[in-house]
Structure formats: C-alpha cells, structure tokens
C-alpha cells in the first residue's frame, strides 16, 4: 500500500515536470553554434564552416546551409574544431587512492573513506572529467555503497553538472571479490564491504544482479576470475540472462587467459583490462562483437605501470586493432596524480594509443562512437545529429591530424547548456536547489 502511494506520487510529480517542459517549448531559446570545423568520427572526415542549431537541449539542424533564426543566441566557435563528446568506458569516480596516506593501495582507501565522502569526490571528479571533454562515463564499481548511482541521479535530476553516468553499482564476485580480507574482516566486521557484492552460488548470483538493478545500476560488472574459483561459463551465462531481464548488459573484469575465454564463450558484452587478452581471443571478440575496455595505462603516469607491463599493453592494443576487436577508450582511473585533474589523468591514456600506432581516426572512434555503443546511448546521445541530446566539445587543433589536440578542450556543451567556454568552466547554469529535471527514484 505504501509502495503504491509512493509510486503514484512519483508519477504525479513526473506529469508536473512534463507540463513544465511543454510550457517551456513555446518560448524555446534557439542556440546557434558556428563551427569553424566539424569532425565526423564515423567517417573520419572534417567539414568547414558548419552551423549547429540547439533547441530544448537537442540538435535541431546541422550543416553548412543552415539559416540562423532571428533572435538565436550565437556561440562563435569559428576558430575551433567541434566534435562530439568523449567517452571513458571504465572509470571509478568515487574512488581516489593516493600516495599519502595509503601508498596507492585502494584496499586501504575503502577503509579510510566513507561512502558520503566518496560521493562528493565523485561529484568533483565528474566535473573534472566533463571539463576535459568526457561527456559519458561508464563507472565500473569500487564506489562504496552505490556512490556511483547517487552521482548519476544527482546529475540527471539537475543538482550538479557532470557527464552522463552509466554506473555498475557493486562489483559482483565470489567471496572476497578482488580483495583478500582477513577472517575478522570478512566474517565479523565486514569492513571491506560494500566494495564487493559476494555471490558464490547460482541463487546468490541471481539475487546480486537483482540488487544492483533495484538500486539503480545501468550495467552489471562481475569479477570473472579474481579468485582461482572464479565464475564458470555457465555462471557467466546466468549473470547475462538475469541482467537481461532488467535490460542490463554485463562487463567482466578479466585477468587470466582462461577467464577471457570463458567470458567470450558466454557472450559477455564487454571485457575490462587486457591481462587475459591473446590474438586468438581478439579474433573471437571481433567475431562475436565483444567490446574491449583494455584500460591501457600509459608509462607517463609514473608508478601506475612498469616498462615491461606498458610494452605488453601496447603490443596487445596493436594486436586487438589489427584483429578488429571492437575497441573502446578506457582508463580505470581511480587515483590521484598530483598536479593533474581526473580529466587530465584520463586524457593522458592517449599516449598508449599513440605508442600502439593506432590511426588518429580510429582512436577518435574508440573515444566517441564506440563509446556511445558500449554505453548504449547511441540512439539518444553522442553523435552531433538532428534529434540527439546536444553534447559537444571544441578544441583549437584538429584531432584527426594530431590526437593531442584533445588535451586542450576549450568548449563543452552538455544537454544543450554551456559548461565550458574559452577554456573556463561556467557551471552556474547546472546548479539548482531542487530536482528540476524530475525526481528519478533510482
């Protein structure tokens, strides 16, 4: 009874928001963006002197012959190159381990930092990512007690600016997850939890998937092989089946070749990390359309990889590209690098792609259109096309010629609102004293 009253209340509130939105249409402000150059990552081409119209947060016209309506607000980016927003397919916005005090050991961070603090870190990290041009983030767990979902809700409801968040909720794994808790921690105090959602049996797996779906996850993340017992191919299939009932895809953390084989055999949506990758697996991923989120740490982020590990990562990325495995840009960024924002840490990962000699157009595809597909936003958000939600960024250089141009994002438009202009963040328009975009319960 209480539940149905609450649902009725939410529906009534949603109707009110819809009426307000309709009322807004009558006096809709048109924004006209003059783009000196406009990149289409799908074709790897660039067009000069384009006009992009935005109305009610969506693109309404794109082209060279577009007439700017009288009274439109004009944003002159004729000196810049406009392109769609970037995607990081694997980040942890509510986790920030650091040299002091925890010596970059995230096991300790999960003990030191309570979820409310981590949620505020996530809000800040999200803003830093948006300022660097990342308009969509898949946030893949290790976020305390659903701080990732809280971030998604806060951004969607209109409390703060930030990228579109695709949160996984808790990472589902066998006992211990990626940690090695002591018996006291695991059985009695449970202080390493809720970093992982333990599910060892089929019943527990079903319940864990349902818990994440109920609490607002938009993708399911599992530990395929974090422990020797791991998940079998059939158990991964069970996760996929159960997640599908809630309309969710499954990403597998994979760290062994055998784990990679089981994940691909089961038909998983995406694989995180390159530890379990081989040429054979890359070919299988290409044949089955399994997304690769390799999280390729660059050697320039000192202390976060080794030369031997980096060389292997570069070789594997090159091998994946040569064998046409579906590539996404992913960072696994979850630490503080003094002097860098979270966005600057993330964009540093292009160094690995450069080292693997991936063509700029393909790096850009991994960072844009492939990112929209792995995030499942491609029908509503991502491409600069009529009808899409209006997200775009602009840089002085041409990323098709010099991918490092992406390091200098001067302009960011999110949901049709200016977030960054002339290299300066202008987030005021995104802050509200209430859920102006409607109250989404989960």
Residue 352 CB, nearest approach to Zn ion (Å)? 16
Nearer Cβ to Zn ion (102/404): 102
Which tokens belong to 234? 């059939």
Mark out the alpha helices in 132-251 (DSSP H runs).
Answer: 147-157, 183, 202-214, 233-245
Provide φ and ψ at 104, rounded to 5°. Answer: 55, 35
Interface with Zn ion (CB under 5 A), residue total: 1
Contact region with Zn ion (CB under 5 A), list: 304-312, 324-332, 401-409, 411-419? 324-332
Residue 140 CB, nearest approach to Zn ion (Å)? 5
Provide φ and ψ at 265, rounded to 5°. Answer: -60, -40
Give the Cα separation of 75 and 410 in Å (integer).
Answer: 13
Dihedral Cα 79, 84, 88, 89, nearest 10 deg: -160
- Which residue from 148, 332, 348, 351 is in contact with Zn ion, where contact means CB under 5 A? 332
Residue 249 CB, nearest approach to Zn ion (Å)? 16
Residue 242 in the binding site for Zn ion (CB under 5 A): no
Give the Cα separation of 392 and 233 in Å (integer).
Answer: 40
The 10 Å Cβ neighbour count of residue 286 is: 15
Residue 251 CB, nearest approach to Zn ion (Å)? 10
Nearer Cβ to Zn ion (55/332): 332
Residue 92 CB, nearest approach to Zn ion (Å)? 6
Contact region with Zn ion (CB under 5 A), list: 12-20, 21-29, 59-67, 326-334? 326-334
Residue 101 CB, nearest approach to Zn ion (Å)? 22
- Give the Cα-Cα-Cα angle 316, 317, 318 (nearest 5 degrees): 90
Q: Is residue 333 within 8 Å of residue 94, measured between CB atoms? A: no
Nearer Cβ to Zn ion (291/411): 291
Q: Please state whether the peptide bond connecting residue 16 to the residue before it is cis, i.e. omega within 30 degrees of 0.
A: no
Q: Please state whether the peptide bond connecting residue 101 to the residue before it is cis, i.e. omega within 30 degrees of 0.
A: yes
Contact region with Zn ion (CB under 5 A), list: 41-49, 81-89, 328-336, 351-359? 328-336
Contacts with Zn ion, residue ranges (CB under 5 A): 332
């Amino acid at each position: 009874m209480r539940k149905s009253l609450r649902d009725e209340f939410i529906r009534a509130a949603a109707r009110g928001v819809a009426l307000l939105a309709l009322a807004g249409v009558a006096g809709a402000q048109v924004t006209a963006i003059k783009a000196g150059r406009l990149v289409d990552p799908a074709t790897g081409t660039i067009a000069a002197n384009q006009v992009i119209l935005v109305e009610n947060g969506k693109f309404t016209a794109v082209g060279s012959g577009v007439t700017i309506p009288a009274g439109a607000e004009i944003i002159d980016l004729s000196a810049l190159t406009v392109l769609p927003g970037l995607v990081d397919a694997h980040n942890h916005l509510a986790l920030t381990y650091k040299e002091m005090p925890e010596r970059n050991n995230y096991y300790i961070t999960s003990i030191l930092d309570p979820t409310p603090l981590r949620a505020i870190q996530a809000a800040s990290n999200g803003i830093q990512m948006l300022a660097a041009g990342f308009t969509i983030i898949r946030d893949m767990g290790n976020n305390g007690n659903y701080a990732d979902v809280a971030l998604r809700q806060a951004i969607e409801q209109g409390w703060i600016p930030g990228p579109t968040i695709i949160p996984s909720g808790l990472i589902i794994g066998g006992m211990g997850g990626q940690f090695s808790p002591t018996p006291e921690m695991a059985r009695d105090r449970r202080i390493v939890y809720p970093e992982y959602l333990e599910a060892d049996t089929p019943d527990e797996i079903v319940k864990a998937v349902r818990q994440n779906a109920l609490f607002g996850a938009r993708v399911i993340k599992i530990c395929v092989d974090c422990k020797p017992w791991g998940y079998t191919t059939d158990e991964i299939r069970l996760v996929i089946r159960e997640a599908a009932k809630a309309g969710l895809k499954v990403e597998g953390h994979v760290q062994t070749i055998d784990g990679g084989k089981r994940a691909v055999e089961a038909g998983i949506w995406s694989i995180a990390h390159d530890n379990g990758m081989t040429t054979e697996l890359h070919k299988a991923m290409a044949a089955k359309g399994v997304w690769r989120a390799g999280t390729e740490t660059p050697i320039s982020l000192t202390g976060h990889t080794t030369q031997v590990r980096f060389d292997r990562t570069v070789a594997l990325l090159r091998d994946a590209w040569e064998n046409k495995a579906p590539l996404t840009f992913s960072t696994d960024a979850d630490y503080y690098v003094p002097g860098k924002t979270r966005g600057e840490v993330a964009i540093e990962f292009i160094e690995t792609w450069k080292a693997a000699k991936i063509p700029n157009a393909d790096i850009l595809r991994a960072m844009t259109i492939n990112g929209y597909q792995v995030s499942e936003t491609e029908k509503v958000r991502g491409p600069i096309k009529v009808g899409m939600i209006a997200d775009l960024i602009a840089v002085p250089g041409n990323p098709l010629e010099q991918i490092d141009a992406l390091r200098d994002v001067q302009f960011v438009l999110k949901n049709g609102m200016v977030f960054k202009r002339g290299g300066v963040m202008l987030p005021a328009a995104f802050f509200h004293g209430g859920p102006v975009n409607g109250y989404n319960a989960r």
